[in-house]
Structure 1
Amino acid sequence: MPVGTTTVRFHHPAGARGLVVLFDGGGGGSVWFTFMEDRLLVEALVDAGLAVAAVQSEGPSGSYDMTEVLEDNLDLQNVSTTIADLGFAGGDVYYLGFSSGGVFASLAATAIPAKALALLSARGVEATFSSTAPLPPPTMWVLGRNDRRVPPTDPGLITNWAAIAASGVDWAYYVNEPVGMLPEAFERIADPTSGVSPTDSADAVAQLAAGGQLDACSVPLGRGNAIDWTVVTPGPSFTGPFLTEARRQVDELFGAHTVTSDVRQQIADFFLAHP
């Protein structure tokens, strides 16, 4: 649906018990419904009975306006309009943001209150979490162990979760640890009409290992755009978009700056615990 000069993509199942507003760090609102990890996360929220709506920035993708005043911030106004147009004004609203979208989510919560936040690869706005009146909303952080932008040791991140912990507000913290690639690692890559076959997935993983792109525990040596994909001869089920998705899957397995769906149920449960 059109909101401001942007298009808000949403799914509003009948009887939804709340609305999760999604903010991406780049790529636009469509990534929540197309990238595999994002899509699996969204599907878990919908399965939990929640509506979802992806609000993209008015400016360049992921470049949300960080002006604190609602009347001066078109992105905040679009959030307010989306909530109202979908019938959730005064209802249970939650914010989920990745990277710069996570930073914006924590700002939006000060202007348009949310029941809870989930911030992926983002530290959030310090003023939101140090506030004592009003208190910050319950917040879950999800960080990648090898995230170079916002690592788990980031001082600003530590300051924010220490502040919310001291306030007595509920919070949670998860780290996406690097894991080894199983033969079926790429089988989850699919669209409504096709997917990567078990054979093609297993062959690609074996070729990455034989080509020296995995360590002794089958963990990728780096991000998806850093390892050498020339060692892989893609099978027929690896379409062009699926090969691009395979790189994002390596990012997730490496614990990089990316969305992970491994904690999708924890995020859904965290939101539902704060009606």
Structure 2
Amino acid sequence: MCQHRDDNAAPTFTWTLSTTNVNGTVVRFHDPGGAVGLVLLFDGGGGGSVWFTFMEDRLILESLVAAGYAVAALPSAATSGNYDLTDVAGNQDLLNVDQTIADLGFTGGAVYYVGFSSGGAFASLATTHTPARAMALLNARGRASTFTSAAPPPTLWVVGRHDQRVPPDDPGLIANWAAISASGVDWEYHVNEPAGMLPEAFERIADPTSGVSPADSADAVAQLAAGGQLDACDVPVGRGSAIDWTVVTPGPSFTAPFLTEAKRQVDELFGAHTVTSDFREQIVDFFDAHP
């Protein structure tokens, strides 16, 4: 039986981000006022802007904000963009976590972490120095030492069925589940299964002033199917960087940035190593359960 992603709606962009400087690092954030907690976001080398501009990331943030959370994306202090995973108190990225929490007024309050890829490894490290009430690891196994510690944080995992870096049968991932389960701490596990592309699939791609039109989305999906880039259930036959995009003649609403996002949308529907917003309500519920 074919499965499709029925919710293809774009982010609403009804609120904008703010920025602050933390020890020379630009932190992007949004605080709806009277927040029930602060969610710190860590991306694997992509910087802080991705959480507010990539479609799947933004949809997660909008669900968190709608539930009353403040959100803040903290990139690495390193010029490489990669977080320092050294487990020492003088780690600048770890110091910036504490400073961001303080600067945004959440010292002693409810703090949560969301980390993608190597950002998930850093979230796992950070919570051993500055404990989070709960964390969500997206396409990340987390650090073994975090889950074998005396008090691992409540953790929700999301991985892709075709994640080439942390697949569902990753031994380290399975070992971390076993450790947290044995500790008695709450945890959840979700798999982003492949899903077929509906004609409106690319309508999710938007920015505050424009978006992919219904006609251009439907045409692109039809061309991918006719060009053999979708299977019998309209699931992409590979990752966005691997399929043949020459079969698509982009319509006028497919701007250059939107074409780049289209590849990420294919990754999401293929279940590859990318952020998916399909479990955003589960993330909200998990954080709500650990106030």
> Which of the five TM-score ranges fits, normalised by the shorter chain?
over 0.9
Match of 1:180? 196
Alpha-carbon distance, 1:27 to partner:
1.8
Answer yes or no: is the 8 Å Cα contact 2:39–2:114 preserved in 1. Answer: yes
Q: Distance in 1 between matches of 2:83 and 2:62?
A: 25
Q: Under a length normalisation based on structure 1, what TM-score does the superposition of the two structures give?
A: 0.98
Answer yes or no: is the 8 Å Cα contact 1:28–1:61 preserved in 2. Answer: no
Answer yes or no: is the 8 Å Cα contact 1:24–1:62 preserved in 2. Answer: no
**SS of structure 1 residue aligned to 2:137:** strand
Alpha-carbon distance, 1:117 to partner:
0.6
Alpha-carbon distance, 1:61 to partner:
4.8
State, as a whole percentage, how many aligned pairs show the same letter. 76
Answer yes or no: is the 8 Å Cα contact 1:23–1:102 preserved in 2. Answer: yes
Match of 1:244? 260
Alpha-carbon distance, 1:120 to partner:
0.2
Q: Give the letter aligned to residue 55 of structure 1.
A: L
Is 1:203 matched with 2:233?
A: no
Alpha-carbon distance, 1:84 to partner:
0.5
**SS of structure 1 residue aligned to 2:261:** helix
Match of 1:80? 98
Match of 2:34? 15
Alpha-carbon distance, 1:62 to partner:
4.3
Q: Distance in 1 between matches of 2:81 and 2:268?
A: 20
Q: Distance in 1 between matches of 2:196 and 2:33?
A: 40
**SS of structure 2 residue aligned to 1:172:** strand
Superposition RMSD in Å:
0.8
Q: Under a length normalisation based on structure 2, what TM-score does the superposition of the two structures give?
A: 0.92
**SS of structure 2 residue aligned to 1:187:** helix
Q: Deviations over 1:99-155 (max 9, x none)?
A: 0000000000000010001000000000000112xx101000000000010000000
Match of 1:162? 178
Q: Distance in 2 between matches of 1:207 and 1:235?
A: 11
Match of 2:7? none
Q: Given the alignment, which residue of 127, 142, 164 partners 1:109?
A: 127
**SS of structure 1 residue aligned to 2:220:** helix
Alpha-carbon distance, 1:15 to partner:
0.5
Q: Distance in 1 between matches of 2:38 and 2:102?
A: 11
Match of 2:164? 148
Answer yes or no: is the 8 Å Cα contact 2:45–2:83 preserved in 1. Answer: no
In structure 2, do the counterparts of structure 1 residues 162 and 260 end up closer, same or farther at CA, with 3 Å as the change threshold?
same
Q: Give the letter aligned to residue 76 of structure 2.
A: S
Q: Distance in 2 between matches of 1:61 and 1:120?
A: 21
Is 1:257 matched with 2:273?
A: yes
Unaligned runs of 5+ in 2: 1-19
Q: Distance in 2 between matches of 1:31 and 1:107?
A: 21
Alpha-carbon distance, 1:66 to partner:
1.2
**SS of structure 2 residue aligned to 1:106:** helix
Q: Distance in 1 between matches of 2:148 and 2:104?
A: 31
**SS of structure 2 residue aligned to 1:101:** helix
